[in-house]
Amino acid sequence: MRVVAATNVNLKSAVRAREFREDLYYRLNVVPVHVPPLRERREDIPLLVEHFVRKTARECHRDVRGVSAGALEVLTRYDWPGNVRELENVMHRAVVLARGPVIQLQDVPLDVALPDTGPRLAEDTGPPLREAMEQFERQYILRVLERVGWNMSRAARVLGVHRNTVLAKLTAWGIQRPTSADGRSLSL
């Protein structure tokens, strides 16, 4: 028989404080595996998102096949205090409520897309103005790009800026136009 156990408590400290049985600790601690929180392994988020979209679409009989670049960027930037379970729940909700075959930024729950909108404690000052403006600008530009199918010229006209400005912003943020598996640009 094998026993797999997980905890968010430091069991070694609990044993020292006599809050956890020492003999049980040594029986369970044969092959310890430390899994860091999702916020410390953001590179895993796109793969998990893809997995949960496919799984939920199959289970709920929905024709949802992917996530837009803007939505994925927001999902990757979020800290996920509930870790993988929270991500799975958010993706389940997004798949069920998606209005098309690709989950868009507007399909992402507001508390994930704009995590700083909730009530604040007096000592919590939030991000500096420059950082908050950068976050808003990025989300706004990505939302416009999604609405115009990533047509840079149309997006620039809607935003009231030159096309090169949009391209420079995307380059600075490390965001590329979404592509299909065969390398062709997607029109979302």
Class of domain 39-117: mainly alpha
Residue 16's pLDDT is 94
**Is the pLDDT confidence value at 112 over 90?**
no
Q: What is the pLDDT, as a whole number, of residue 180?
A: 47
Q: Which of 49-53, 84-88, 122-126, 142-146 has the lowest mean pLDDT?
A: 122-126
φ, ψ dihedrals at 56, nearest 5°: -70, -40
Find the mean pLDDT for residues 132-155.
85
State the chain's mean pLDDT as an integer.
84
Q: Do domains 39-117 and 127-188 have the same CATH topology?
A: no
Question: For 186, phi and psi rounded to 5 degrees?
Answer: -90, 150
pLDDT of residue 6: 82
Q: Domain residue spans in the chain?
A: 7-36, 39-117, 127-188
Instruction: Give strand pairing partners of 67.
Output: 103
Mean pLDDT confidence for 144-154 = 88
Classify domain 127-188 by CATH architecture.
Answer: Orthogonal Bundle (1.10)
Nearest CA among 158, 154, 163, 162 for reference residue 187: 154
Mean pLDDT, residues 149-164 taken together: 91
Beta strands in 43-175 (DSSP E): 66-67, 102-103
The answer on pLDDT for 188 being more than 50 is: no
pLDDT at 90: 93
Q: Which residues contact 70 (CB under 8 A, 6 or more apart)?
A: 104, 105, 139, 142, 143, 145, 146
Q: Is 173 exposed, middle or buried (0-12, 13-18, 19+ CB in 10 A)?
A: middle
